[in-house]
Structure formats: C-alpha cells, structure tokens
Structure 1
Amino acid sequence: MARRSKQEMLETRAAILASARKVFAQQGYAKTSMDDLTAQVGLTRGALYHHFSDKKAVFEAVVDQLDQEMDQRLQQQYLLAEDSWHGFQNRCQLFLAMAQEQEIQRIILQDAPAVLLADENKQKCISSLQNILAELIEQKKIIQCDVEVFSRFIHGSLTELAFWISHADQQRLVKAQQSLSLIFEHLAFH
C-alpha cells in the first residue's frame, strides 16, 4: 500500500471538514454519525479515524475553522472602517448579522456550547474586546470604563442577542442592531 503524500493528507482532511460542516449544519451534532461523515467524502471509517479520533474531534475542528473564519470577517469589518470606533461598532453589528447564517446558528450557537467546553474561546473573545476597548479609551473615542467588566457585558449581550436573532425573521436583527447603536451612542466620548 503506497503512502499518501502530505499534500494528499491535507486535501483529505480539508474534504472531511468541508463535508462535516455541511452535515453538522444540516443535521446537528447529535444526529450526525461517523457514517454520515464518511459517506459524504467517500472514505472508510478507518481513513476518517486516521485524521480524527472521533466525531467530537471532527466537530471541534469544524468549530475551530468556523471560529477562525468568523474572526477574520469581524477583523476585516473592523479594519475597513473609517476609524477604530466605527470599526468596533461595525464588528459588533456584523456579529449579530452572522447569527442568521445556518452554519453559525447550528454549529456555533446551538451545538458548540452543548458539546464543547467553550471557556477558552469565550475568554479569547473577551480578551479581544478588552484590548479594543482599552485602545478606544486611550484614543478618547469612548468614555472611561472598566474594560474587564464592559467587555464581559458586551460579550454576554452580543451572545444573548445572537441566540435571540438566530432562527428568527429579519425584524429581530434590525431591533437588536438599533438597540446596540443606542448603547454605543452613550458610550461614545463627547
């Protein structure tokens, strides 16, 4: 039996993750079997186990991939704005809008908290918010506040709003974004 090249192994892993994302988004973690994952990419269970130890490991890799993509989109929104304050606001608004995307709804908002320990990712998000808020205070874009407390407030609020928005009509997103804008108006340095 010929050994597969590193490139072939990477391509197989990428195919597994692409397939798994579709299956997890459509069926959810609980209803997805290893056979569902292998059937999509034409692999045997043994080949799948060569790349991942179990279904949870596949799911964790999918969550990591989706988290990275979300972070890139949020960071791009931040960097494209006219200044850091507008970038921060746009970033938060985009996060709420993403809650209506099927993959994010099912994988990130619904299944990931139930399947994985989310503390590490949560702390990463909060730390990122703390850094942005500290920068905005230093630039005198927002009023002085306790960045640790306010970053947790923003993270918790955005997460709860994302749950509320997911699987709902566009009107909930609009209401949430309008309310978030009101909070930001009061936070802005005048």
Structure 2
Amino acid sequence: MARRARSEMIEETTGKLVAAARDAFGRLGYAETSMDDLTAAAGLTRGALYHHFGDKRGLLRAVVTAMDAEIDARLNAVSATPDLWAGFVGRCRLYLETALDPEIQRIVLKDAPTFLGPDYLETSRHACHTSLTARLSMMMAKGVVHQGDAETLAHLINGALVDAALWIAEADDPTPRLANAIGNLDLLLSGLRVPDRK
C-alpha cells in the first residue's frame, strides 16, 4: 500500500478538527465548547489542535473562514446573472436570509465578532467593501445605477446589511424581522437605480 502524502494527512486532520469545531460551536457556542470534548469528537488530541491552529481561537478563525467562503459562494451564485440589478438585489436579500441559519447566527454573527475581535471584523469588512465597490462600479459604468462614489456607497450598504442581519439574528423569532427587512430593502436600494428607459 502506498504511503499517504503528508499534505493529505494534514488536510484530513485539519478537516476533522474544523468539522468537529463547527458542529460544537454551532450547538453549544464558542465559550461553552470544551477543547477536550471537541478533539475527542474528532478522534484527535489537543496536541493536534495546538499544532495546526495554535489555540481554540485559531480553530474558530478557521471555522469562520470556511463558513465565510461558503456564504460568498452562495452570494456569488445568486448574483451571477446578466441582469446586474436583479443579481445585486438578490445578493443583498440572500445575505439577510443567511441570518435565519442557526449556525451562521451563532458562529459568524455572534461568536466571531466577540471572540476574534477587531482584526477579524476589519478583515471581513474589507472583503465585503471591496466586493461591493466592484459591483457598484460596474453597475455605474453600465448605467444601471446613478453615478456616485462606489466605495462610500459600499460602506453605507454593507453597514445597513450587517446591522440588519444582527438585528434579525438576535430576535427570539427572526422570521418576521427578516420579512420586514426584505420588504424595506427595495425601498432602501431604489434610489440607486437609474429608471428603465422606454
């Protein structure tokens, strides 16, 4: 039998730890998750966690990075349409809808900002602002939205979406808040759009 490549073994080990941590953080929350229980669930030792992630915070960062990538892939899929405006609005709506997912609520919206601190928040915000700025710039260039400063608009829109997602996630029953937010999203964004020319 051929020996497995070291990179494959590392990928398997880190994958097990991230999966076990995601499950535990999603069910119990970061603060209530025991590293011993987490590593036992993965069939590994604390030493493996320390070796690959440094500490429990490093593991949380890896979980959040993986979840952010999944969310980005979903947002990109929704906005991949020839109708730039529909794709943009669909992306904003879907971001708000993710606040209904209990795992995203607990890990991404609550625990990540609390336990990873300002460095995580700044990195996350920067990625969102860069993506939104590019989309707004493209829509301005194509005459879909009014001319303005794309970067400033990206900050304004992202701030509104993040705040609304947190507001949705903190509710005992988030569904009515989501419906209210989506119902008012078009009103918020409508001033950007150039009216269709007949």
Partner in structure 1 of residue 187 of structure 2:
182
Residue type at the aligned position of 1:174? A
1:40-74 Cα shifts (integer Å, max 9, x gaps) = 11212122222221001100100111111111110
Asked if the contact 2:14–2:52 (Cα under 8 Å) also holds between the matched residues in 1, the reply is: yes
CA gap 1:35/1:4 in 2 versus in 1, 3 angstroms: farther
Q: Distance in 2 between matches of 1:176 and 1:129?
A: 19
Distance 1:188 1:43, change over 3 A: same
Is the deviation greater in 86-95 or in 140-149? 140-149
Which residue in 2 is equivalent to 1:75? 76
CA contact (8 A) 1:28 1:111 kept: yes
Q: Structure 1 counterpart of 2:167, which letter?
A: W
Q: Corresponding residue for 2:164?
A: 161
Q: Which runs of 5+ in 2 are unaligned?
A: none
Q: Could you say which residue in structure 2 is the equivalent of 1:53?
A: 54
User: C-alpha distance in 2, partners of 1:60/1:169?
Assistant: 26
CA distance in 2, matches of 1:69, 1:82: 22
The separation in 2 between residues aligned to 1:131 and 1:82, in whole angstroms, is 16
Matches within 5 A, 1:5-154: 5-79=6-80, 81-116=81-116, 117=119, 118-154=121-157
CA-based RMSD of the aligned residues comes to 1.6
Amino acid at match of 2:191: H
1-structure distance, mates of 2:45, 2:174: 40
Task: For 1:120 and 1:47, locate their aligned partners in 2 and report how far apart those are by CA, in whole Å.
Answer: 27
CA distance 1:169–1:124, shift in 2 (3 Å)? closer
What CA deviation, in whole Å up to 9, does each residue of 1:118-158 have, x standing for no partner?
10111111111111101111111111122122111101000
Q: 8 Å contact 2:49–2:59 — kept in the other structure?
A: no
- Structure 1's unaligned 5+ residue stretches are none
Q: Percent identity?
A: 41
Q: Distance in 2 between matches of 1:44 and 1:169?
A: 38
C-alpha distance in 1, partners of 2:138/2:5?
A: 48
Q: 2:45, 2:64 → 1: CA distance?
A: 23
CA distance in 2, matches of 1:3, 1:149: 50
CA distance in 1: counterparts of 2:98 and 2:163, whole angstroms: 13
SS class of match (1:142) = coil
What TM-score, normalized to structure 1?
Answer: 0.93
| Aligned partners of 1:19 and 1:37 also within 8 Å | yes
Aligned partners of 1:133, 1:88: CA distance in 2, in Å? 9
- Aligned-partner residue type, residue 106 of structure 1: R
SS in 1 for 2:100: coil
Counterpart of 1:78 in structure 2: which amino acid? S
4+ aligned runs moved over 6 Å, structure 1? none
Query: What amino acid maps onto 2:55 in structure 1?
Result: D
